[in-house]
Structure 1
Amino acid sequence: MTDRVLRLLRTRPDLAALAAFPFNFDVDRAYHVEDVHLASGASLEPVAGDDTGGTYFLCGGSAVLHASSEGDAVLIADNVSEALEMLVRLPWYCENISGDLDEEQLRAAVDAGDAEAREEFAPELDAQRAALLTGLGLPDRPLTELVALMEAAVDRTEPDHLLLNSAELGAYRLTDESRRRPLRDVVLAPGRDVLTRVRADEPGALDEALADPVLRAGVVRAAQYDRRDADLPLLRLLLARETSERTEWYTERWIAAMLVALHGEVEDLPLVRAATDGQAAGAEGARDWARARDADRYGRDPEPESAFTWIELARAQGRIEHSRVALIRLLDDAGPADAELLGRLSESLERLGDHAQAARAQFLFLSLQDTDRDRAAAAHVLARLERRKGDLAAARRALERARTAVGTVPQWHRHGLGRLITEQHLELALAAAEAGDAPLARETMAHGRELLSAIARQHAKALGELSTRAKWAVAALGRDPG
């Protein structure tokens, strides 16, 4: 359903003209300087523009995002009504508007801006504002409330409203970077909360901390950065649960073992040894081991921790968009020689299911490989990602690069690399056939047959079912008219 205020602006030329001038919300300029979309996949509709080339978008049918022509974007309101109220009562030409000001200070700032606007370009400003507010039926709420709504919207820009350039997939900058909440604080918050409640002996808090492996990981991290001697009983329980279950959060198991061992209690030695595969010998030895590990790897300061620690914890917590935003920002900032980082970004983005961004990272990773073996390996991964994102032509080009590179690798056909490249040819042939792209399907299947005849027999046998499906799918396309 169309927002009431937006409907009025689209059907009342007099109101639309007032919104466009002097308040810079022009519904006749509902287009942007480039194709864009939201990283989250939510709907995005341009509804107005400003006189600097910026655009106002509806996100998910309601929230209003402003994107500049210079690559900045920020959420400004939950709906068009709130956005217009802000733009009319806190207009663009007013400076130093912030939540730090009280009502009197805000009115003084608006009055100063209005006085300058009347003198320079809008002599009828008061009448124009009154007519627009009345015509749109906008409320007269305190300016402090409006600023609070605006700043709350800004703080919600990420993760759900990250704007991407559709051609290159790079992210728009957050207009005010200082308002971004660090991902570390987001993902540590649940663990810190439970740790606080356990320390206060809140009923059920301890059971909650022990039951969920993801929450346990957060509690261990919270205890690492905020250490208390009284936490030892809790740490013992966390470590015992981690040791018995051996979850994927093995790093947190080692941290818990370190935190327990730092207390130097003899009774904890069997548990510490079990958790660390016997690395610590004797109570003093365990304490020395823990001190060395603490100094070398962990410590009390979360700042040096890898960004991937928080990204993976966010993913495990179900904060998929938080993970996606962090990974895309890292990818945008990656340098021309960050091969290791690019490879890890590709893997992490694929794990999230964002094959387009993963392919972007993998393409850059491939360009940095120095040997034919590494180029072939990177190219077959790129082919998989391009296929999964739906760009079959790009997948074909990646496989061509893989074939070219692997041809110079000694005994390539006897190793797993040969199987992996062959598998991607069969997968692409099947995908092309299902898409009705007969030329691509036949061409790729022909290469697949050649590869099947070249790779080791056990690898060809393992691909037998896929080969049969691809062969029949291509055959069902009918005879090649050529």
Structure 2
Amino acid sequence: MTDHVLRLLRQHAHLAELAAFPFDFDLRRAEHGEPVRLASGGPLRPVAGDDTGGTYFVCADGSVLYADSEGSAGIIGSSVDEALEIVIGLPGWRDHLDLSPSDGPEKILARVTETEDEFREDYGIDEARPELRAALGLSERSPVELIGMLHAALLRTEPDFLLLNAEEGCAYHLLDRHPRPPLWEQVLARGRADLAALRAGDRTVWDATAEDPVRRRLALRATQFDRADGDLELLRHLLHYESAAGLTDELRLAALLVGLRGRAEDLRPVYALRERDFDAACGLSDMPGPDADGAALREWAEELDDSLFGTDPADEPLCTWTELAADQGLTEVARTALIRRLDAIEMDQGLLRHPGAPKKPGKLDPSPLGALAQDFERLGDRVQALRAQRLYTALQDTEWDRVSARLTQARLERETGQLPQAGNTLAALRDILDSPADDSLRHLHRVNLGRFIAEEHYDLTRALADADLPEEARATLAAADEIRGRLSGAAATAVRERAEDVAERVRDQRDLV
């Protein structure tokens, strides 16, 4: 049906003219003006535009995404048919983005009537509308119904249809300002459902939830924000299984929720883990021992609760919810939240300042950017990871941190096919090594960082050779060999096989020339 309507407009000039004027759906304006893409990577086909510089795109499922010229975008219909019903039935639809069914028919009709009266002063919409609807086979719907359709479509924009500037990677703003449920609500939905079933005593759910690592974590998070006196048995059950997974944030959470009851015997799985696992012994070293009294356990649990957990999901760090979203397969939910956070930091680096810290230049904490880069990599989105990493690199203070950050940046540039940029980044890294401004790199060639730098140079050399860039490959190989020559014996030995393989690859390429 979508292609049918577009085909009619393309085949009949009169219909295309009516769509363009007075309804501002112009097939001749399908060029958006800047390269864009969906964050999800789905196809995006421009089909029309308007006289404000906005563009209508058709997505893989037929949904129509409208992007204006000011950096905002949103779904306005589940198909071209639906989008045209809205555009034709509400010629001032862009002025009604704030309306929703909750406003009621009276307010909706008054607003639409006012807008259409203004249109009638300049455009013959009453004559053109029925003709275009009939020719395209579109339904005649009331303004109230159309506002409901538009509202529902707009709310579908995120996460699957988040529009990005293809060159910069930043996201378009939402076209509307309607409230959305918080991220945690969507992520925690499964956990809350499982918690209700656990409390109902469904033993099949008890085992299925406890044995599934993701469901178990979600159920524990649900109990964090919905605590009940009768939860001790189910908490002990979940704690038993979580302790088998080693030290996790959810194990700490389960331990404190059980510890709040003040019974050391309920924490036996944690004590056993602490005995056999070094990380758990360190991470839970402040937990009172198995002979502790109830008051000491409760005091420990309350302090841990206050410092790391709490009862308000809105206070949890973003990474809690994006990691749980990704673990559930809600990749686009996680990606959207992370991109929005990265955009916010890029626009206002003051967000990197610790609360209460003096507002002085240079007093920023870049670690959230490093964490974002890692989160994007876990999602498989190296483009956004590189964007975060470049910002992170620019904010490093010591020469060690600058070198380490540039090393990761160069790897991401290489892995995304930006080989010249990777070469430039490694060149800047070498400049630091040659003339460091502090002594943080004094042991570089005796630790793993030196080895990793050499390995990345060899990896880039191979990539350059594979890309048929022999001169660049030879220059990078020479730099790699020089760095390898500075390494200690063990580090140099560890790199030797890679160095020999890459050198042979470069020689083979030279022989072919």
Any conservation in 2 of the 1:269–1:283 contact (CA below 8 Å)? no
CA distance in 1, matches of 2:472, 2:177: 46
CA distance in 2, matches of 1:116, 1:254: 62
CA distance in 2, matches of 1:356, 1:62: 26
**Structure 1 position 422 matched with structure 2 position 433:** no
**Could you list the per-position Cα deviations for residues 79-120 of structure 1 after superposition, in whole angstroms to 9, with x for gaps in the alignment?**
1111001111122256464212455664454333322321x2
The code of the aligned residue for 2:4 comes to R
Aligned to 1:292: 303
Aligned to 1:465: 497
CA distance in 2, matches of 1:232, 1:199: 10
CA distance in 2, matches of 1:89, 1:338: 51
CA distance in 1, matches of 2:73, 2:92: 15
The code of the aligned residue for 1:363 comes to R
Q: Which moved more, 1:206-215 or 1:24-33?
A: 206-215
Any conservation in 2 of the 1:97–1:109 contact (CA below 8 Å)? no
Q: Which moved more, 1:315-324 or 1:416-425?
A: 315-324
The code of the aligned residue for 2:390 comes to F
Question: How far did residue 384 of structure 1 move?
Answer: 0.1
The code of the aligned residue for 2:256 comes to M
CA distance in 2, matches of 1:177, 1:221: 29
Name which of 296, 304, 329 aligns with 2:340: 329
Aligned to 1:442: 474
**Could you list the per-position Cα deviations for residues 243-299 of structure 1 after superposition, in whole angstroms to 9, with x for gaps in the alignment?**
1232x7x11111111111112245424345446468222332211211221222211
Tell me the SS of whatever aligns to 1:176.
Answer: coil
Question: How far did residue 131 of structure 1 move?
Answer: 0.6
Any conservation in 2 of the 1:4–1:81 contact (CA below 8 Å)? no
Any conservation in 2 of the 1:43–1:60 contact (CA below 8 Å)? yes
Aligned to 1:339: 366
Tell me the SS of whatever aligns to 2:215.
Answer: helix
Aligned to 1:401: 428
CA distance in 2, matches of 1:65, 1:480: 50
Q: Which moved more, 1:336-345 or 1:270-279?
A: 270-279
Tell me the SS of whatever aligns to 2:329.
Answer: coil
Aligned-pair RMSD on alpha carbons? Answer: 2.2
CA distance in 1, matches of 2:258, 2:163: 45
Q: Which moved more, 1:140-149 or 1:40-49?
A: 140-149
Aligned to 1:224: 224
**Could you list the per-position Cα deviations for residues 52-91 of structure 1 after superposition, in whole angstroms to 9, with x for gaps in the alignment?**
1111111226211111111111111121111001111122
**What does 1:166-177 align with in structure 2 at a 5 Å threshold?**
166-177=166-177
CA distance in 2, matches of 1:103, 1:302: 36
CA distance in 1, matches of 2:61, 2:210: 41
**Structure 1 position 100 matched with structure 2 position 115:** no
Aligned to 1:263: 261
Tell me the SS of whatever aligns to 1:303.
Answer: helix
**Could you list the per-position Cα deviations for residues 24-66 of structure 1 after superposition, in whole angstroms to 9, with x for gaps in the alignment?**
1111100112111111111112111111111111122621111
Aligned to 1:62: 62
CA distance in 1, matches of 2:499, 2:128: 71
Aligned to 2:487: 455
Give the structure-1-normalised TM-score.
Answer: 0.93
Aligned to 2:358: none
CA distance in 1, matches of 2:330, 2:129: 42
Pair 441,181 (structure 1): closer, same or farther in 2 beyond 3 Å? farther
**What does 1:384-399 align with in structure 2 at a 5 Å threshold?**
384-399=411-426
Aligned to 2:209: 209
Question: How far did residue 410 of structure 1 move?
Answer: 2.1
Tell me the SS of whatever aligns to 2:510.
Answer: coil
Name which of 318, 321, 339 aligns with 1:307: 318
Question: How far did residue 379 of structure 1 move?
Answer: 0.9
**What does 1:229-248 align with in structure 2 at a 5 Å threshold?**
229-246=229-246
**Could you list the per-position Cα deviations for residues 442-480 of structure 1 after superposition, in whole angstroms to 9, with x for gaps in the alignment?**
111111111222212211221233223211221221259
Aligned to 1:413: 445
Any conservation in 1 of the 2:410–2:422 contact (CA below 8 Å)? yes
Tell me the SS of whatever aligns to 1:300.
Answer: coil
Tell me the SS of whatever aligns to 1:47.
Answer: strand
Where does structure 1 lack aligned partners over 5 or more consecutive residues?
none
State the aligned residue count: 477
CA distance in 1, matches of 2:170, 2:91: 30
The code of the aligned residue for 1:98 comes to S
**Could you list the per-position Cα deviations for residues 160-195 of structure 1 after superposition, in whole angstroms to 9, with x for gaps in the alignment?**
111111221111111234433322112111101111
The code of the aligned residue for 1:279 comes to M
Question: How far did residue 19 of structure 1 move?
Answer: 1.1
Question: How far did residue 430 of structure 1 move?
Answer: 0.6
**What does 1:61-100 align with in structure 2 at a 5 Å threshold?**
62-92=62-92, 95=96, 97-100=99-102
Name which of 377, 388, 393 aligns with 2:404: 377
Tell me the SS of whatever aligns to 1:127.
Answer: helix
Tell me the SS of whatever aligns to 1:478.
Answer: helix
**Could you list the per-position Cα deviations for residues 199-247 of structure 1 after superposition, in whole angstroms to 9, with x for gaps in the alignment?**
233463222321211111111011110111121111110011111232x
CA distance in 2, matches of 1:268, 1:167: 55
Any conservation in 1 of the 2:457–2:480 contact (CA below 8 Å)? yes
CA distance in 1, matches of 2:257, 2:20: 61
The code of the aligned residue for 2:122 comes to F
Tell me the SS of whatever aligns to 1:37.
Answer: strand
Any conservation in 2 of the 1:44–1:61 contact (CA below 8 Å)? no
CA distance in 1, matches of 2:331, 2:181: 16
CA distance in 2, matches of 1:68, 1:125: 23
Any conservation in 1 of the 2:261–2:294 contact (CA below 8 Å)? no
Q: Which moved more, 1:92-101 or 1:395-404?
A: 92-101
